[in-house]
Structure 1
């Protein structure tokens, strides 16, 4: 069973208190029999089916790869939002476009953190396919990507050798909200977690929920544990073949119910086996419902983007397979473009891309504000508006941001 162990902290600063604290060592997972209650199993089955439907539609419909790219970004931004790191979607997409052009730019710390999370999320899903093994080295690489370029870059991917804690102050674990396992326990716990991720005979949704909670309980890195743990969720989906072509934005669903999310993770940490068993059922149930919600969000987003694209085609009426036609196909996943990126995305010459962009500007599909004119970027604001609506909808009664205001924290509608 999991257990709490007492430690004593001798503070080297008058800012932090000296005294006793309790650190939590979770039970090992590998080989542990876990049975789901019938109602929880039904929720997991529904979540699994919804993910399969989302993945199947991505396999049978045309032009879904751009949508998958944007959904991946929404998952990364939702994961950042849980940590209180928020940046405007349009600014993030503009910075990505500028980086591709090699144009120098400035970002603040929040924007840099979100960009790093997008890189880490992309890396996590690109490195894992169906049946591929999840490894500790891979988790290290994901965390390293997250912290790259930040003040804790040197700690990126390094399994901690000192005690850390959550909440309280920066100087002492005394009075902290949660103190994870002592450093000597971290490596064995991670090795056990990786074995569970690869070998446990559980549905992917249940396995991802439990593995995520265990990872957060271990808290193995100096920073970025929450974001690394949510990337692990997507890796487990890929490993199991549950989501191979698209990314259900689970973190976005979790971000809109943060208190409940934190509560189910906290309940998982107990030295009473009966309480851990009950908490596991609640955790898996909560997680399954968020997966179902995220699939609904992705489906609605796809439908709304399809309406946008049809409206574009009615305005532009491009010649089949022309540069303009090809650009309309990829704009949903690349709503900020330059002439150079449009040429790359369409496989056409720079001149053909320039003419295609000009025709889309004339039709009102693309626009260019004063800031972007200097860097020669164009934005598909219809897509950016839908992307913002995707992030706002879960916190809004009825999910329609046009008729109701969000009741929880949500990105601004304007850019």
Structure 2
């Protein structure tokens, strides 16, 4: 039975603090029901909606568009990386992040500190999540390692042994918006949560929704709960086969619809028996919030993939015209470096001749000829990365990614109607 438990906070003897932060007094912690064995009945209308959204997610991931999305999706992790790096203000553009990614394998100068932090954290988030997906069974130690990967600057990693809280004072929980379970309840609740994550009692979207809400309710770490909780959403969906490596930007939608997100989590934290009316109503409310966020994420990801598909067609036309003017056949050979590089651009929109040589396993002259040809056709734009190193950017792909992230940060998911409500890349000035 989920309950609010009475507790008492004894103020620490901290000198120099104002009296409001040196208060002692009663507060209440929330102790949720375990997930294992919890009865769950989904309303028929919600059940049909879940099935509909899951079909759309599978269609996006399994169709030809899924390949493009896998390459593009890492850029949609930029908001997570921005949060992980504690960067404030305008997020670095996709172009700058892509150049910083390139700098991880090539000697590139003039890479901004913010872009380097974001690129490094994107790599960490993807690697850490992929490792969880590949495990036969996720354990508490695995989740602690995920926390350590996402917030390496934190001094103490691991399941908390102190009381934490959300909102109010940094010094006491008396005015907190929410107080998670007491420390002694965290270990068994976390073990129960991961037992549920390792199973398949419910559909993938329902499981991801419950795992995320329960994790955020337990709040098992002193820091990094939000980042780990969002990573677990991707972990569940990939482990259940609903998505492949592509990251569906559900967490970005939930971050934009923050009021709905908080209301949904609050409703999930019912009091009473797990089969009671409060539990039914609260759980339905949260699952509905999560599923609708998934639906918006699919719509936005589909729009991005469709735009890239149109761009590919336009590229083919540009390349054909360029080759015709030069007296060459319109379409390059399918096994040529030019054709192979053109197909790779959505995944690697910033490259150099040396990178093309390594990735495509072709000679340097062939790689250099490919980037030069695509630049001459107006598909790539040259940018000096170092004295003797020229980078080639598919700026139109990068602009589409930036536009998608700006749309995802609009409460109307349309920046013409509602401006972004968090840090996003500035629009590139043409």
- Counterpart of 2:50 in structure 1 is 44
- Counterpart of 1:3 in structure 2 is 3
Check conservation: 2:381, 2:394, Cα contact below 8 A. yes
2:102 to 97, 100, 107: 97
- What secondary structure is seen at the aligned counterpart in 2 of 1:368? strand
- What secondary structure is seen at the aligned counterpart in 1 of 2:223? coil
Query: What is the RMSD computed on CA atoms of the aligned residues?
Result: 2.8
Q: 1:392 to 1:206 in 2, by over 3 A?
A: same
Q: 1:242 to 1:258 in 2, by over 3 A?
A: same
Q: 1:102 to 1:135 in 2, by over 3 A?
A: farther
Q: 1:399 to 1:113 in 2, by over 3 A?
A: closer
Show structure 2 runs of 5+ residues with no match.
321-330
Offset of residue 284 of structure 1: 0.5
Distance 1:339 1:165 in 2: 52
1:227 aligns with 2:240: no
Offset of residue 340 of structure 1: 2.5
Distance 1:12 1:348 in 2: 68
Comparing 21-30 with 245-254, greater Cα deviation is found at 245-254
1:144 aligns with 2:145: no
Deviations 1:163-186 (A, max 9, x none): 222222333333222222222221
Check conservation: 1:256, 1:394, Cα contact below 8 A. yes
| Larger Rg computed on CA atoms | 2
Check conservation: 1:11, 1:172, Cα contact below 8 A. no
- Counterpart of 1:24 in structure 2 is 30
Q: 1:286 to 1:232 in 2, by over 3 A?
A: same
- What secondary structure is seen at the aligned counterpart in 2 of 1:144? helix
Distance 1:7 1:104 in 2: 56
Q: Greater share of helix residues, 1 or 2?
A: 1
Deviations 1:113-167 (A, max 9, x none): 67425422343135415x943332332222121113x3x1x434x2222222222
- Counterpart of 1:57 in structure 2 is 63
Offset of residue 396 of structure 1: 5.0
Comparing 19-28 with 199-208, greater Cα deviation is found at 19-28
- Counterpart of 2:315 in structure 1 is 312
Distance 1:221 1:8 in 2: 20
Count of aligned residue pairs for this structure pair: 404
1:291 aligns with 2:305: no
- Counterpart of 2:279 in structure 1 is 276
Check conservation: 1:297, 1:390, Cα contact below 8 A. yes
Q: 1:181 to 1:111 in 2, by over 3 A?
A: farther
Offset of residue 96 of structure 1: 1.1
- Counterpart of 2:137 in structure 1 is 133
Deviations 1:65-86 (A, max 9, x none): 3531321431x23445678856
Comparing 205-214 with 96-105, greater Cα deviation is found at 96-105
